[in-house]
Chain A
Amino acid sequence: MIELVEVSKVYHRGPEVIQALDHLNVQIDAGEFVAITGKSGCGKSTLLHIIGGLESVSRGKVLLDGCDLAQLREPARTEFRRDRVGVVFQSFNLLPLLTLEENVALPRVLQGASYDQARQEAAHWLGEVGLSGRQGHKPHQVSGGEMQRAAIARALINQPAVILADEPTGNLDSVTAAQILALFSHLHRQWGKTIILVSHAPEAGSAADRVLRLADGRLLA
């Protein structure tokens, strides 16, 4: 279970203070599929990054199964990021130097798996997102949607309990977007993953168990 208690996030841009999240209280149960929507700049990505342990909070607590994320030391945080969440970012997702397969295999390798093992698993997950046959390509040789799908495969390879996805369908045509949404629903139903998805698409809302509406760093309704 993920629990955000009175979480605020403040950015300083010179003298300007930006309140990205404003005393936010959210609870997400294990195995839940949550969609987050809201206008651009309302704090969706910020929220996702905080849950993913990529950013610290200015005030408040993030509790994971009752354990405060802020209290974790760096090695434990690293393990958390590596083993327990899989993140799909809004734009920059893949290391340009590595092939799709290597990108996907990377979290597994970082975990300590053998290269051959990781490669095999990566091939499998690439197949799952419909990219079998493209594993040898580098990111700049494939399309935006394919990159996005590879990123999803990478988020899945360590079989994390939680998957965080920041507008994974943002740059995609409606057919592909629908395929990817279907993939998330499948993961949610078949594997019981907790899925937190930022998306403007109305289809996302209908696929999700619950929709959180953000505005100016606060939850609406």
Chain B
Amino acid sequence: MNTVLSRANSLFAFSLSVMAALTFGCFITTAFKDRRVPVDIRVSRVMLKNVDDFTGPRERSDLGFITFDLSADIKPIFDWNVKQLFLYLSAEYATKSNALNQVVLWDKIVLRGESTKLNLRDMKSKYFFFDDGNGLRANKNITLTLSWNVVPNAGILPLVMGSGHMSVPFPESYETTKSY
């Protein structure tokens, strides 16, 4: 500690250790928090087509078009350890060929500081709702849920499903629109 550089080294190393301890403290204060929020999903229109799917080996696959309404208040999730939220709407269903299918239809990134009241009406899906085959036609039960990934400042990234889902049946034939 006789020279400036030696003192600066000691000071900087101590500051860094203290900063690491504070970051761990930040993680510990929010590690066991419940990050579920009630979510309200409504579907207004569903349409079904049978088109060529160039990403798979089949001849033609089912392509669904869903128009939905979404409302949720995600403000309780944000605290001092949350940097942003990655929200995504996924559809889950079962077909004859596959027991479980999950398709992401729409997603959004919500940064801290942006408006946290989601009130979306008549939204179209962002991504194609392709089925692996022809399992969407006359499917009785397709469940839409909103989930989110919490991106923290320090710690693990929990994947949380919102409490609230909506199940819709799909139309029996192609190129017909079903309204709810």
A and B interact:
no
- Show the binding face of A for B, using Cβ within 8 Å: none
